[in-house]
Amino acid sequence: MGVFDIEDIGGIATATVANPRNCTTCRECIRHDKFAERVNLGKKKDVFEFHVESLGMYKPQDIVIQAF
């Protein structure tokens, strides 16, 4: 899925999150017991993402202002 990338940090190969938006929370990264203690999979509870689409006479930014 291309979420993780291997980087050489201080001579040690380390997995880092390269593309967090590609994560589908499938939990495949913690499936094996050897990774369960090394990977912390969680969600940020104070981050929200939403999309606004418009078809016609209202602009998306106007819809958001009206919704708030």
Question: Rounded CA gap, 36 and 23, in Å?
Answer: 17
Determine the 3-state secondary structure of 46 from DSSP: coil
Q: Is the separation of the CB atoms in 3 and 18 below 8 Å?
A: yes
C-alpha angle 59-21-36 in degrees, rounded to nearest 5: 150
| Percent of the chain whose predicted confidence (pLDDT) is above 70 | 99
Please provide the average confidence, as pLDDT, over all residues in the chain: 81
Q: Which residues pair with 4 in a beta bridge?
A: 17
pTM reported for the whole predicted model = 0.43
Average pLDDT in the 28-45 region? 76
